[in-house]
Amino acid sequence: MMSAAPTTQQSTQPAAAAGTVGPGGRPAVAPISLDYTMRQLFDQDSDGAPPPTFVHHPLPGGSPEASSSNKFTYHFKLPGSEAPTSHVSARLSGRVSSQRYCFSAGKMPVVILDPCQAHDAPSFAQLREDQRPNMTTISDLGHLRLDPGSRIVVTIPTDWLSHLPHAVDPETHYELSSKRGLARSGLPTPPSTVIDVLLQPNHRCDPGELWSEASRMLELLEMQRLPFVLKLNQSHSGMGTLAVHCEKDRAHAKAVMSDLLPAMLQQLNTANHHLHPCSLVLQDYLVGPAVSLSFFVTPRGRAVFVICSDQHFNSSGYWAGGSAVYSKQDVLRTTFSAVMEEATQFLHRRGYCGPAGIDIMTDDSGTHHIIDLNPRITASFHLGPLTGHFVRRGLDAVTVMKEVFSGSREVFEEAFDREIRDGQLVVTAWAHDEPSSLSHAVIVVGERNLAATASLVTRVKVYKLGVGML
């Protein structure tokens, strides 16, 4: 059963109190009021249970614990798919992720694991005080303290958090996050071929066995009918995915996987072999319009619609933003209600409760196919709680953009002071490195229609080029 998102008594957005100052000595902007928060969603059907603690951490690849002994392994990038990223940029990206995923958490405990203990200007400070998360930043897990009876929720399960009480069993969460899991779910998905690993963990250090297994998997890739999409089993945001349209693409995919597979297979061990971390999925390539739908699964298995948006990807095929039109949400909710309900019931049967997202493609016959399933908070999720903020200002179209700047947040906000003050531009995350002057940011831009939104997005991009981009 689908239900509406909870609502919060709306603020009339009064002007900030006289004499109050914000960053850079400028008059403070009135606080942002969310329509609802993650805390309110978790409270639905909770029977009075305490809210979970949202623990966010850098991607596993950046963890000092990452090793061949890990149970939960991930493969976020394909070799040669993107220019090398500096250590500074990688750290900033992790800090920005922590802010953007927690932006709409509300009054629930939030713990951000940041070994560097960076002091970014908190994006939560611009929210109404009663909607700001109870945030703690820690440098190591030894400092983590949970409220009595609280369980943690995470974006993805990891070894170094697995000893803590989880709202969703970590192994179940890991399998639900996998491309293999979706292909075998019984949900309406494109036809897919799953290539499982036959190599036993005790043979992973044998070069001959390793190459024999990699060759077998590559041969199956050679046999797949064109066109198709090659997906690594544990990846997200468009990373770990290759579209194969022709024989030239197939040759490229085989070359990439020839480099990657031996290293992947060495991550197999007795703790994760049953989780199939190194499986490959070859999904039939479909043509048609695609949308990203964010929703919430309550403890009783009710689906709460949040937002339906388009996604934007960069030249490497990685997620770079998304757009939504608020006046179309009722129609989109009705159009995709059945497939959202199917995904909700599937997740609920497996014991999942919390935010989730599905990417849906519609073929020529009008059939909806789930091409990706994300049992976690999505990058566009907060566009739902921000609906009232923009609509009350006559701003029907929004775009969330992920950008890199040279310069501080204060300088950026001074350049776009009017747009921020008018509520057209909301910075949901910003991380800055003073020595390099490098900043990573996630910004939501609102306008009366998509064309006007695109114009304001262009202005932000022109500003980025004007101040310099590292």
Confidence (pLDDT) at 92? 85
Residue 12 has pLDDT above 60, yes or no: no
Confidence (pLDDT) at 29? 75
SS3 51: coil
Confidence (pLDDT) at 65? 41
- Which of 15-24, 87-96, 434-443 has the weakest average pLDDT? 15-24
Residue 11 has pLDDT above 50, yes or no: no
Residues 353-377 have a mean pLDDT of 97
Nearest Cα to Cα of residue 159 among 132, 180, 141:
141
Helix (H) or strand (E) holding 225: none
Confidence (pLDDT) at 468? 46
Residue 191 has pLDDT above 80, yes or no: yes
Residues 376-386 have a mean pLDDT of 96
Residue 10 has pLDDT above 60, yes or no: no
pLDDT band at 33 (very low <50, low <70, confident <90, very high): very high
Question: 392-405 pLDDT, tens per residue?
Answer: 999 999 999 998 88
Q: Which amino acid is at 437?
A: S
**Which burial class, exposed, middle or buried, applies to 34 when counting CB atoms under 10 A from its CB (0-12, 13-18, 19+)?**
buried
Q: In what order do the strands lie in the sheet with 134-138?
A: 134-138, 109-113, 53-56, 152-153
Residues 361-370 have a mean pLDDT of 96
- Phi first, then psi, for residue 192 (nearest 5°) are -140, 150
Residues 113-118 have a mean pLDDT of 70
Nearest Cα to Cα of residue 168 among 393, 366, 426, 349:
349
Confidence (pLDDT) at 123? 85
Confidence (pLDDT) at 82? 54
Paired tokens of 444? 């939501």
- Phi first, then psi, for residue 137 (nearest 5°) are -110, 130
Confidence (pLDDT) at 399? 97
Q: Report the share of the chain in percent with pLDDT over 70.
A: 86
Instruction: Report strand pairing: 152-153 vs 53-56.
Output: parallel
pLDDT band at 467 (very low <50, low <70, confident <90, very high): low
Residue 141 has pLDDT above 80, yes or no: yes
pTM for the model stands at 0.91
Residues 80-99 have a mean pLDDT of 73
Query: Does residue 396 or residue 22 have the better pLDDT?
Result: 396
Q: How far apart are CA 78 and CA 257, in angstroms?
A: 8
Residue 21 has pLDDT above 70, yes or no: no
Q: Which amino acid is at 28?
A: A
pLDDT band at 14 (very low <50, low <70, confident <90, very high): very low
pLDDT band at 140 (very low <50, low <70, confident <90, very high): confident
Other Cβ atoms less than 10 A from the Cβ of 170: the count is 20
Q: Report the share of the chain in percent with pLDDT over 90.
A: 68
Residue 85 has pLDDT above 90, yes or no: no
SS3 113: strand
